[in-house]
Amino acid sequence: MCSAAGLVNDGSRKMDGSLQDNPRRRFLVADHINPHKGDAYKFYLGKLQTLCPDHHDIVKQAEERRGFVCDAGEDGWPTDPMHPANR
């Protein structure tokens, strides 16, 4: 998510690019690309990606709670087929 926004982040920055001032959040998170929802097989063997703590704790978890991504195409229309506007 940071790289998609043009930011190289090794965990030392927040998602807005500013320096991470909280030493307890200077790390990268191993995030499950597809939510495991308690499934042990998916938890241990599912595909992972690294995210900064802000993207993991704020953006990714909000997407999982909502059930869709709010990204929009060049035309301004939501790209996720699960978005309510696409149903």
* Spatial distance between the Cα atoms of 47 and 57, rounded to a whole number of angstroms: 18
pTM for the model stands at 0.74
Position 86 in a domain: no
Q: Is residue 54 part of a domain?
A: yes
Per-residue pLDDT of the chain (87 residues; tens, 9 = 90+): 898 888 899 999 999 999 999 999 999 999 999 988 899 999 999 999 999 999 999 999 998 889 998 889 999 999 999 999 998
Q: Which residue reads 């063997």 in tokens? A: 45
Domain assignment of residue 17, yes or no = yes
Look at residue 87 in the predicted model and tell me its pLDDT. Answer: 87
pLDDT of residue 27: 93
- CA 85 vs. chain centroid, Å, equals 21
What length does the chain have?
87
Instruction: Name the domain count of the chain.
Output: 1
Instruction: Examine residue 80 and state whether it is found in any structural domain, yes or no.
Output: no
Tell me the residue range of the domain where 33 lies. 3-68
